[in-house]
Structure 1
Amino acid sequence: MAVYTEVADEELAAFVAGYDIGGLVSFKGIAEGVENSNFLLRTETGSFILTLYEKRVRESDLPFFVGLMEHLAAGGLNCPTPVRDRNGEALGRLAGRPAAIVTFLDGMWVRRPKVAHCAQVGEALADLHAAGADFSIVRDNALSVGGWRPLFELSAARADEVLQGLGAEIEAELDHLERHWPGELPKGVIHADLFPDNVFFLGDRLSGLIDFYFACNDLFAYDLAICINAWCFEPDRQFNVTKRGR
């Protein structure tokens, strides 16, 4: 469930009144997602998504996320666009949390991706990388090779409880990756979380990308690796080479 913070009706109505999107008609929580509290808003002018940023998201990162969505949308990528309030601000506060309203993106995510879906995801990812080339804000990837050893060390003492010898195997793998990480590969803005539930389709046509809250600057190959793992394996765990493409 991705509603961690409840919002009082009166408080929400007052928040929405600060935007030129009409009065609040209805709102409901959105179950999908793991990082933030999300609500579907319906106002007199249409539908929007309200996000309350929870404690796992650093407030100092929000200008990157919000600015990136605006930048990508201006560059032609179909993604949610932050709505600015009457004071020109894209970020506000609601229920004690940083909050933003973004445009509603129509579509659904596919549960059983086909080759045609994967091809469109590859094109959209390339468009994202190109559109982000001149984005001026930089955010390091906290979940790249530099962050893996600290994560491991949090549970290293218990690794062998899962499988005997697992701790030593992970330790050796981390040593190898830190020595041989291909840092010279092309870099730029990446989505870093382009799993199927973050890509919307209308029928068989890709309608847009959502959830940019892991986006950062890192290797383009990192983004490709996430997509290959997320999109190109079948339910029986067999790798589909055709879905991967060339």
Structure 2
Amino acid sequence: MAVKTTFSAQEFREILSYYNLGEYQGFTPISHGSVQTNFFLQTTQGRFVFRYYENRSIGSVLFESHLIQYLKGQQYPCPALLLNRQGEAVGIYREKPYIIFEFIEGQHLEYPDEMQKRQFIQEVAQLQNITRDYQPVNKDDRWNYDIDCGRKLARQAAQRIDTTNAREKLAWFEHTLSQLQLPASLPRGICHCDFHFSNILFKDGNFAALIDFDDANYTFLTYDLATLINPFIPAFDWDSWSDFKPGDNIFDFSAARETVLEYNSYRPLSPDEKQYLFDVFKLSIMFDCVWYFERGNVSDFFEKRKIDALNNLGRDAFYQEIFG
């Protein structure tokens, strides 16, 4: 259960006293999520979601609250924020920020069908359409996924782990980052950056909402698209990659090609975005490497094998497989 901080009924009564959300009736911990603490709150006016930010600064949470208010103003399907009597979306309790969200009915589908996948891809493209010209608040309080951010986080991970393997992996990581081509002409905006199935809601078979913008940040607009495509065969994964030998053919672009085609129909990619999708995709792999920095020996590990395969394929061949 992903509850790191416990709350009593009396504490929730105290928090709700600052809102016009009815009388407290009960709460239930939410097991989904592994970072922040979440509860369902039941009042005489209905059901709400209480999120307590365990490891986010007030600036980071303000980034999220302003973004969600902007998205709701654009009729984007995501949960609304409930304001307190002072008109504020972010509260502080025990020196940590929290937000109370609208509750949206729906189901989390680990295996959506083809129609549901297309609906989801459309909403991802619309998120980038809406936020391309959005000016984020407290942008620097978020990890904005680019080369500098990746380098900083990898150095922190290597220092924390403090082993020879971690230091050597950092050297590989920094060299690989230096090979990426990400020109200033690539448009930036807001990407969600966490499309785990528990963050996507469907109702009656149709897309209902995208939730949990805890990892959203200001980055290359194609970053979300890069995380949606998987040009590798299904059998090649984090727990099975070692079954393959270096040089084995591990590519299957059919699903990736369909995803990009669907996305492009709602947000047409610029020539530069097409040309450098190869590099943004590699950047997304590098951030996976950051999150799992302790995993694998520097000589051969999952993310390195993926990068090596892409380097052997090359940017031009990748482009032809996706767009040709």
Residue 189 (structure 2) aligns with: 188
Q: Which of 105-114 and 42-51 deviates more? A: 105-114
- Name the one with the larger strand percent: 1
Alpha-carbon spacing, 1:178–1:202, altered in 2? closer, same or farther (3 Å): same
Q: Which of 68-77 and 11-20 deviates more? A: 11-20
Alpha-carbon spacing, 1:89–1:152, altered in 2? closer, same or farther (3 Å): closer
Amino acid at match of 1:222: Y
Number of residue equivalences: 239
Q: Identity across aligned pairs (percent)?
A: 25
Amino acid at match of 1:151: L
Contact 2:27-2:40 at 8 Å conserved across structures = yes
Where do residues 2-151 of structure 1 align in structure 2 (5 Å cutoff)?
2-54=2-54, 56-138=55-137, 139-140=139-140, 141-151=143-153
Q: Which of 128-137 and 219-228 deviates more? A: 128-137
Question: C-alpha separation between the residues in 2 aligned to 1:233 and 1:130?
Answer: 30
- Name the one with the larger helix percent: 2
Residue 205 (structure 2) aligns with: 204
- Across the aligned residues of Structure 1 and Structure 2, the Cα RMSD in angstroms comes to 2.6
**Cα displacement string for residues 54-75 of structure 1 (whole angstroms, at most 9, x for unaligned residues):** 1x21221111100111110110
SS in 2 for 1:93: strand
Contact 1:37-1:51 at 8 Å conserved across structures = yes
SS in 2 for 1:39: strand
CA drift of 1:215 comes to 1.1
Alpha-carbon spacing, 1:223–1:159, altered in 2? closer, same or farther (3 Å): farther
Which 5+ residue runs of structure 2 have no aligned equivalent?
238-249, 262-324
Residue 254 (structure 2) aligns with: 241
**Cα displacement string for residues 189-242 of structure 1 (whole angstroms, at most 9, x for unaligned residues):** 11122222211111321101000111111101111112225x997477485733
Residue 315 (structure 2) aligns with: none
Q: Is residue 158 of structure 1 aligned with residue 163 of structure 2?
A: yes
TM-score (norm. length: structure 2): 0.66
CA drift of 1:101 comes to 0.6
Question: C-alpha separation between the residues in 2 aligned to 1:171 and 1:235?
Answer: 29
Alpha-carbon spacing, 1:60–1:211, altered in 2? closer, same or farther (3 Å): same
Question: C-alpha separation between the residues in 2 aligned to 1:233 and 1:119?
Answer: 20
Contact 2:144-2:219 at 8 Å conserved across structures = no
Alpha-carbon spacing, 1:134–1:22, altered in 2? closer, same or farther (3 Å): farther
Question: C-alpha separation between the residues in 2 aligned to 1:196 and 1:236?
Answer: 20
CA drift of 1:105 comes to 1.6
Alpha-carbon spacing, 1:30–1:159, altered in 2? closer, same or farther (3 Å): farther
Amino acid at match of 1:67: H
Contact 1:195-1:226 at 8 Å conserved across structures = no
Amino acid at match of 1:244: T
CA drift of 1:158 comes to 3.3
**Cα displacement string for residues 143-195 of structure 1 (whole angstroms, at most 9, x for unaligned residues):** 4322323333333753648xxxx936x63453242343313312111112222
**Cα displacement string for residues 101-141 of structure 1 (whole angstroms, at most 9, x for unaligned residues):** 11012112211233222211111011111222343325254
Question: C-alpha separation between the residues in 2 aligned to 1:152 and 1:193?
Answer: 19
Alpha-carbon spacing, 1:137–1:150, altered in 2? closer, same or farther (3 Å): closer
Question: C-alpha separation between the residues in 2 aligned to 1:66 and 1:172?
Answer: 37
Q: Which of 130-139 and 16-25 deviates more? A: 130-139
Amino acid at match of 1:204: G
Which 5+ residue runs of structure 1 have no aligned equivalent?
none
Contact 1:19-1:86 at 8 Å conserved across structures = yes
